[in-house]
Amino acid sequence: MKRILVTGALGQIGSELTLRLRDIYGASNVMATDIRQNSSEAAQSGPFEVVDVTDFKQMMETAKKYQADTIMHLAAILSASAEAMPVFAWNLNMGGLLNALETARELKAQFFTPSSIGAFGPTTPKDNTPQDTIMRPTTMYGVNKVAGELLADYYFNKYGVDTRGLRFSGIISYVAQPGGGTTDYAVEIYYKAVQERKYTSYIAKGTFMDMMYMPDALNAIIDLMEADSCRLIHRNSFNVTAMSFDPEGIAASIRRYIPDFKLDYDVDPSRQRIAESWPNSIDATAARQEWGFKYEYDLDKMTEDMIDKLRQKLRLEVPKL
């Protein structure tokens, strides 16, 4: 990776990945693009252009002008929002991906895009879900992600594009707000915990999903992209996860630092249905074996860091207990 073009760079993952890549590869070597512009560090700390990923000409011209040798394609609509706008989701998630893959093919660029635990479905084994298993998702987002994994494999097998991908679990972070996923509750709960010491969960008690803290997710992307291609058997996409919990589990972790934190429930049937169709926990053995995946943050370590960083971000006093 020397000259990297990132799509969807102002989203939850992109706004931190762009900064990490600029630290490693040099600010001028990471071109951030998004359909919108804002005053975030990702948009200000290096080259930035407005690019709509559904516009092939615009994407190709930007990548050519920039002489990109790596495309990191993050622009997408996430699970809960996609379920509300399925046709729009198909056009953005599949059309954008096809354009990004075509750009990588023409420029002979290395390619990364994230898949998701949303690629699994209700008939997938729920616990310790294997890397290779039944994938019959029942959401538009899941359909897009499975098709996307297959399409990225196709571009590797047919055209030799060096495609790589990760099946991310819910990503928890404090820099940019999450963009309409089912696991967003696990970010919101920290904001509410430090601001109000209470949270009403739209996900029901007992619903377990995989999660990962942003620093580990960024390391996983970089480690996978830097891995020796010959070692990769599963290119698109590797199961990666650091923890699995339900709302009670994350609340218990928060109470270690905010003892009077209160959790109640007002379950959203639509997002609950999506969550129930996903695994409780996935198996990341293939990622460990093929490119050395590891993580640093378990639930309590993440909770400590999230609370600390959010108090700084929101400029809140540490309460006297």
Ligand X SMILES: NC(=O)c1ccc[n+]([C@@H]2O[C@H](COP(=O)([O-])OP(=O)(O)OC[C@H]3O[C@@H](n4cnc5c(N)ncnc54)[C@H](O)[C@@H]3O)[C@@H](O)[C@H]2O)c1
Which sequence positions are flagged as catalytic? 141
The residue ranges of DSSP E strands in 169-299, in sequence order, are 170-172, 198-201, 209-213, 238-239, 243-245, 262-265
Q: Which sign does the torsion angle of CA 18, 106, 1, 211 carry?
A: positive
Per CB under 6 A, the list member of 46, 121, 137, 181 interacting with ligand X is 181
Name which of 63, 133, 68, 115 is nearest 220 in CA terms. 115
The reply on whether position 165 binds ligand X by CB under 6 A is: no
Number of residues that bind ligand X (CB under 6 A): 29
The reply on whether position 168 binds ligand X by CB under 6 A is: yes
Joined together, the tokens standing for residue 302 give 């993440």
Per CB under 6 A, the list member of 53, 151, 242, 286 interacting with ligand X is 53
Looking at the chain, how many residues does it have?
321
Stretch that binds ligand X, among 10-18, 40-48, 98-106, 292-300 (CB under 6 A): 10-18
Joined together, the tokens standing for residue 5 give 């073009």
Residue 275 half-sphere exposure toward CB, CA atoms < 13 A: 28
Residue 235 C-beta: closest distance to ligand X, Å: 16
Per CB under 6 A, the list member of 4, 5, 13, 189 interacting with ligand X is 13
The reply on whether position 36 binds ligand X by CB under 6 A is: yes
Residue 35 C-beta: closest distance to ligand X, Å: 4
Residue sitting closest to ligand X (CB): 11
Joined together, the tokens standing for residue 14 give 């992109």
Per CB under 6 A, the list member of 47, 86, 179, 215 interacting with ligand X is 179
The reply on whether position 116 binds ligand X by CB under 6 A is: yes
Distance CA 129, CA 111 (A): 26
The reply on whether position 178 binds ligand X by CB under 6 A is: yes
CB of 52 or CB of 162, closer to ligand X: 52
CB of 51 or CB of 251, closer to ligand X: 51
What DSSP state is assigned to residue 3? S
Residues 218-237 that bind ligand X (CB under 6 A): none
What DSSP state is assigned to residue 320? P
The reply on whether position 76 binds ligand X by CB under 6 A is: yes
Per CB under 6 A, the list member of 6, 80, 114, 253 interacting with ligand X is 114
Distance CA 55, CA 142 (A): 23
The reply on whether position 11 binds ligand X by CB under 6 A is: yes
The reply on whether position 63 binds ligand X by CB under 6 A is: no
CB of 29 or CB of 40, closer to ligand X: 40
The reply on whether position 52 binds ligand X by CB under 6 A is: yes
Q: Please classify residue 179 by burial: count the beta carbons closer than 10 Å to its beta carbon, then call 0-12 exposed, 13-18 middle and 19+ buried.
A: middle
Nearby residues of 315 by Cβ (< 8 Å), 6 or more positions away = none
Compute, in degrees rounded to 10, the torsion defined by CA atoms 69, 97, 120, 170: 70
| Residues engaged in binding ligand X (CB under 6 A) | 7-8, 10-14, 34-36, 51-54, 74-76, 78, 92, 96, 114, 116, 168, 170-171, 178-179, 181, 183
